[in-house]
A and B are shown apart, each in its own frame.
Chain A
Amino acid sequence: MSEKHVRLGFLGSPNSGKTTIFNALTGLRAKVGNYPGVTVERREGKLRKSNKNITLIDLPGTYSLQPISSDEEVVSSLLTGHSEGNSVPDGLVLTVDACSIERSLLLVVQALRLGIPLCLTITMMDELKARGGQIDLEKLSSALGIPVVGVVGNKGIGLDKLKNLTQNIEEWQVPILPPPSKTQELSGWIASVLSRGGYEAPEKDRRSDRIDRILLHPFWGSLAFIAVMLFFFQIIFTWAEPAMDAIDFGVNLLQLKVENIVKPGLLRSFLTDGVLAGVGSVIIFLPQITLLFAILAFLEAVGYMARAAFVVDRAMGKIGLEGRAFVALLSSYACAIPGIMAARTVPSPRQRLVTILVAPLMTCSARLPVYTLLISAFIPRDISVGPLGIQGLTLFGLYLGGGVAAFLFAGLIKKFVVKGDDLPFYLELPPYRLPQLKVVARQVWDRASSFLKRAGTIILSVAIILWTLMTFPETDFPDGTPEVLTKKMAIEQSFAGRLGKTIEPVIEPLGFDWKIGIGLIASLAAREVIVATLAQVYAVGGEDESLREAMEKDKNPKTGRKVFTAATVGSMLVFFVFALQCTSTIAVMRRETNSWRWPLFAFSYLLLIAYSASFLTYRIIYAITENSS
């Protein structure tokens, strides 16, 4: 028996319920990937419990098949046979929300023009009835000349009928007359199809309207927006922490276990400081990614995400972005990794790229240990401006500085670097609906696993490369050398240590010495690593009091002055505000933009800004403190 392989495309506008049907038909085995060259997600799965070999392709939700962006071109070129390596689907299943069928028929018209066998699935029939509307699916089917099935995806209603239909695409009815080709005739054609389909428009969605009266109220709506965003921010910041601590603890435990089993030496160091630390640095992001996408998927499914974008759009418009970019930038305040991944919700490829490029400027939580160390050690505790201590003010200033810089550079990058046309802004406010746990869970799972698979491998390899740089070449120590000293000498002799010394002339204008240089190189793994590296270089066991003391006492052998002057500390803080010292962010950027070009650009422009700003800070503080002393 020769079995023909059938491919079936799933088409529909956003919020039509298409993905619920797709999930119900394919089960949990759908493969998530990417279309080549773009960020558009590609989801494919085999039809469950089918006699035939049928592949379902979940096409990205769209209002139109006439592309106006590179993302949308993916769908249209797939459907017109211009997509490399993808043949045109043998049939299309177009999902339409019964309540907005008056609009969705515009998409149906475009799908009919493709000449591919087409079948409609109508969702939200219960909502249509509840709102006093009506439609007769059989009459609609004969009016359009194509098969029409009513489906309630989460309750399984109509799925069997749809599945039976997919078995015999060649028997699908095709329309005798093509739909009109002139825009002027569309309104009339749709009205006539609907009247022949026994359609009566639903009344206004009173429940959504009542909720919107509060959530989109000029005053209460703004307040609600701020409350939701604060809550959202608080959750990814604090709820993720116990899980992150637990992961940290687990990795430490494993490292200890390995240390008990494996003899001291290269293998042990590779296993604990290379592999385990690397794996740890990948999975440490999972709690935040999972939480972020759980909340995003929930807010999206309820219908609030669109409202949030609506409320904040004008402010974002000032820097050339749009409402949907806000959440991505806000998330980056916790960590740029989930923030950059959240930029997918921005439909314009140009604005999405800008959002991704400035996300690392938002003050992520990995900068906090560095800020805390420097501030608590070098910013006087007892000076205050009014009721506010200068320590707190400095921290606040650093946080604010990152945010302001992100907004500033978003505008600049959009104007000078990422050129091209903007998409017109449009946003549908879907009716408020109860989210389905399955859909939310599915989305979170897809995101987390794609992060592990794609970014995780890069992060792990970089961690191992950094381990190599910090371990080789090895040095021999006389027996009985204290461990803190061997550690200090090992890192000084390593490639990373030598590199730190080599770059000293380059970073000297910023007030940094080679010890800070080593710290900067090590912090490429993750910003907070600089704290542990400095502890290692200063040969202190702990990372807190003793490190602070050692840093305070340290003097430059050439000048006899303290290394950590006010100018150097200020310069270092400013450097951390701007520099993209996070290979995980670079890895995720690479994954989300599908090229090395943009992560390299981000790394370079941020390094340039960091360098210049640090230099200025150093010079200014130096001038002030020199004059006053």
Chain B
Amino acid sequence: MSLIPLSKLGIGKAGTIKRVEDDGVISRRLADLGFLPETLVILSRKAPTGDPLCFELRGSQMCLRRKEASKIWVEVE
């Protein structure tokens, strides 16, 4: 069990969100999009150039840039 930023997750790998760095506006919006503590996230794919990243969470496919994804810390097996 270790904490890594969401941007470091491998394709097809899952993690559980433990912490979202508080950044005011951005963290608030991330929470509204479903990036909440105790939510299971899977990195489903990367854009052809490697950024942005597309995550599967709460029944939707949501894309974030690495910059925002690196603020979300997940626990992986």
The residues of B with any CB-CB pair to A shorter than 8 Å are: 25-26, 28-34, 36-39, 44-45, 47-52, 54, 56-65, 68
Please provide the chain A residues from 57 to 115 with a CB less than 8 Å away from any CB of chain B in the complex.
63-64, 66, 68, 99-103, 106-107, 110
B68 touches A424 (CB 8 A): yes
The 3 closest A-B pairs by CB, nearest first: A64-B32, A102-B58, A103-B58
A103 touches B34 (CB 8 A): yes
B48 touches A219 (CB 8 A): yes
Collect the chain B residues with CB atoms within 8 Å of residue A423's CB: 29
A219 to B48, CA, bound (A): 7
How many Å from the CB of A283 to the closest CB on chain B? 39
How many Å from the CB of A194 to the closest CB on chain B? 10
B59 touches A100 (CB 8 A): yes
B65 touches A63 (CB 8 A): no
Given contacts A64-B29, A314-B51, contact A425 B38 (CB under 8 A): no
Count of residues in A whose CB is under 8 Å from the partner chain: 45
B54 touches A315 (CB 8 A): no
How many Å from the CB of B76 to the closest CB on chain A? 18
Collect the chain A residues with CB atoms within 8 Å of residue B54's CB: 216, 310, 429
How many Å from the CB of B11 to the closest CB on chain A? 11
A317 touches B65 (CB 8 A): yes
Collect the chain A residues with CB atoms within 8 Å of residue B48's CB: 216-219, 221-222, 311
Main secondary structure on A side of the interface with B: helix
Instruction: Tell me if A202 counts as interface (CB < 8 A to partner B).
Output: yes
A68 touches B28 (CB 8 A): yes
A101 touches B61 (CB 8 A): no
Instruction: Tell me if A479 counts as interface (CB < 8 A to partner B).
Output: no
> Which of the residues A101, A186, A430 comes within 8 Å of B36, measured between beta carbons?
A186
A216 touches B52 (CB 8 A): no
Q: Among the interface residues B26, B31, B47, B68, which one has the most CB atoms of the partner chain A within 10 A?
A: B47
Collect the chain A residues with CB atoms within 8 Å of residue B58's CB: 100, 102-103
A66 touches B32 (CB 8 A): yes
B59 touches A212 (CB 8 A): no
How many Å from the CB of A300 to the closest CB on chain B? 16
A426 touches B39 (CB 8 A): no
> Which of the residues B30, B33, B44, B65 comes within 8 Å of A313, measured between beta carbons?
B65
> Which of the residues B29, B38, B47, B60 comes within 8 Å of A428, measured between beta carbons?
B60
How many Å from the CB of B59 to the closest CB on chain A? 4
Complex: chain A residue closest to B62, CB-CB: A428
How many Å from the CB of B52 to the closest CB on chain A? 5
A209 to B29, CA, bound (A): 26
